[in-house]
Amino acid sequence: MTIPLPPSGAGTDPLLTTADDAPGVSLWRAAWRRLRRNPTAIVGAVIVAAFILVALLAPLLTPYEPGSARWSGQVTPTSVPGPSPEHLLGLDRFGSDLFTQLVYGARQSLVYGVVATAIGLTAGTALGTLAGGAASVGGRIGGWVDNAVMRLVDIMLSVPSLLLAVSIAAVLGQNPYAVMIAIGVAQVPIFARLLRGSMLSQGRSDYVLAAEALGLRKRRIVMGHVLPNSLGPTVVQATLNLAVAIIEVAALSFLGLGQPDPAVAEWGRMLVAAQDRFEAAPQLALLPGGAIAITALGFTLFGEALREALDPRSRR
């Protein structure tokens, strides 16, 4: 009797082997195939795509300008006009078109979230590369550099991210740049620790041992092989941090540390303005609050699906 051999990769479970894991298929291409079959990824991608399109096409979606108070005479302390043919969602407490404020608020949230995450990703990648590279190279100096960087990261992690962002924004002043820098700095230790751990894990891989056997210098191995193969989890974390950044932007605006210009639409400030009108017009708080929650949910769902698609331990 002839026993059939597994098609490839002796020692692998044929029940867990899929076409996505076939030899010659790149990691990102296989992840893309999994994402297309994942309902969670599809829902998250639809929400994220809708959010980005609304932010980019804001001038085409509404004929009004953000912050325009042309209809302030229609608003009273006990009454705020609701939906009408001219105003799809009604007016806000200042007499501006509520739909226009929501649409342009998406643009502000997108810009703030992307810039803040880019700041955290850049600085965190630099620190993580320094610590992970020093630990991989080894030696007395390498160990000292790794310990110094990670103790700095531990100090930053000991402070809650929102509290750290509030402290930095309060020091830098009330302006949009302070908000983006504050949220970005609060994300630095997350990226730094994640990249360092990924580099240390990659440093024990077979291709690293093969490169060392061929006589390549450790620094060349770290920068040319270990670092590029360690960036995947960091990029995935960036998509998850976008959701956190959008929520923290709204939180800082709610606390009075966000954009000071009242003519600029921002979801967090809309929540502040709606506090004394909630009983008369609850939509003033429910709509921007729902927009924040749905947007954060979209980035979270897509980020989690992307992480699972790239993680070999979660493949079915």
Cβ atoms within 10 Å, residue 8: 11
Question: What is the per-residue pLDDT for 205?
Answer: 78
Domain residue extents for the chain: 106-314
Mark residue 24 as left, alpha or beta (left: phi above 0; alpha: psi -120 to 50; beta: remaining).
left
Q: Which residues of 168-189 are buried (b: 16+ CB within 10 A; e: fewer)?
A: bbeeeeeebebbbbbbbbbbbb
Label residue 190 by pLDDT band (50, 70, 90). Answer: very high
| CATH match for 106-314 among 3.40.950.10, 3.30.420.10, 1.10.3720.10, 3.40.50.720 | 1.10.3720.10
Nearest to 100 by CA among 70, 59, 135, 44: 59
Q: Tell me: pLDDT of 121 over 90.
A: yes
Question: What average pLDDT does the structure give for the chain?
Answer: 81
Q: Tell me: pLDDT of 157 over 80.
A: yes
Q: Which residues of 127-150 are buried (b: 16+ CB within 10 A; e: fewer)?
A: bbbbbbbbbbbeeeebeebbeebb
Q: Which residues of 235-251 are buried (b: 16+ CB within 10 A; e: fewer)?
A: ebbbbbbbbbbbbbbbb
Q: What is the pTM of this model?
A: 0.80
Cβ atoms within 10 Å, residue 61: 15
Q: Tell me: pLDDT of 2 over 50.
A: no
- φ, ψ (nearest 5 deg) of residue 31: -65, -40
